[in-house]
Amino acid sequence: MISQLRSAAAAGCAALLLASGCGSGDTGGGAAVPADASPALRTLIEAAQKEGELVWYSVPAENIAKAVSDDFAGKYGIKVKFIRLTSSDLAQRFAAEAESGKPAADLFVGSYTPFVPQALEKGWTVKLADANIPDYPAGFPDTYLLPDAGTAVIQIQPTGIAVNTRQGGGAIKDWPDILDPKWKGKIILVDPRTSAAYTPFWNLIVKEYGEEYLTRLKAQNPIVAAGAAPATQQLAAGEAAIVMPGVQSIADGLKSKGAPVGYVQPPASTGPEIVPGLAAKAAHPNAARLFVHYLMSKEGNKKLNALPGSGSPLDPATLPARYTFNKDLSGTPAERINALLGLT
Each residue of 28-72: pLDDT tens digit?
A: 455 777 778 889 999 999 999 999 999 999 998 888 899 999 999
Residues 152 and 77 in one domain: yes
Same domain, 52 and 125: yes
* Residue 19 located in a structural domain: no
Same domain for 184 and 205? yes
Q: Which pLDDT score, from 0 to 100, does residue 330 have?
A: 86
Q: What is the pLDDT of residue 3?
A: 32
Examine residue 18 and state whether it is found in any structural domain, yes or no: no
Residue 30 pLDDT? 59
Q: Sorting pLDDT into bands at 50, 70 and 90, what band is 244?
A: very high
Are 97 and 130 contained in the same domain? yes
Let me know if residue 33 belongs to a domain.
yes
Q: Kindly report the pTM of this predicted structure.
A: 0.81
Rounded distance, CA 196 to CA 249, Å? 20
CA distance 274 to 139: 17
CATH of the domain at 148: 3.40.190.10
pLDDT at position 98 is 95
Burial class (CB in 10 A: 0-12, 13-18, 19+), 241: buried
Q: pLDDT tens, 81-111? A: 999 998 889 999 999 999 999 899 999 999 9
pLDDT 10s digits, 263-314: 999 999 999 999 999 999 999 999 999 999 999 999 999 999 988 888 999 8
pLDDT tens by residue, 198-231 = 999 999 999 999 999 999 999 999 999 998 989 9
> Which one has a higher pLDDT value, 129 or 23?
129
- The answer to whether residues 301 and 314 touch, using CB atoms and an 8 Å cutoff, is yes
Domain match, 178 and 46 both: no
Residue range(s) defining the domain that contains residue 170: 160-269+328-340
Q: Which of 265, 247, 246, 245 is nearest to 341 (CA)?
A: 245
Count the domains in the chain. Answer: 2
In whole angstroms, what is the distance from residue 128 CA to residue 220 CA? 45
Same domain (yes/no): 151, 193: no
Distances, alpha carbon 134 to alpha carbons 190, 233, 266, 297, in Å: 40, 42, 38, 11
Q: What is the pLDDT of residue 63?
A: 84
- Does 185 score more than 90 pLDDT? yes
CB distance 108 to 97 below 8 Å: no
CA dihedral 266, 156, 65, 13 (to 10 degrees): -60
Same domain assignment for residues 213 and 285: no
Please give the residue that has the higher pLDDT: either 297 or 18: 297
pLDDT tens track for 144-176: 999 999 999 999 999 999 999 998 877 899 999
* Higher-confidence position of 151 and 24: 151
Statement to judge: residues 306 and 197 lie in one domain: no
234 and 293 housed in the same domain: no
The answer to whether residue 149 sits within a structural domain is yes
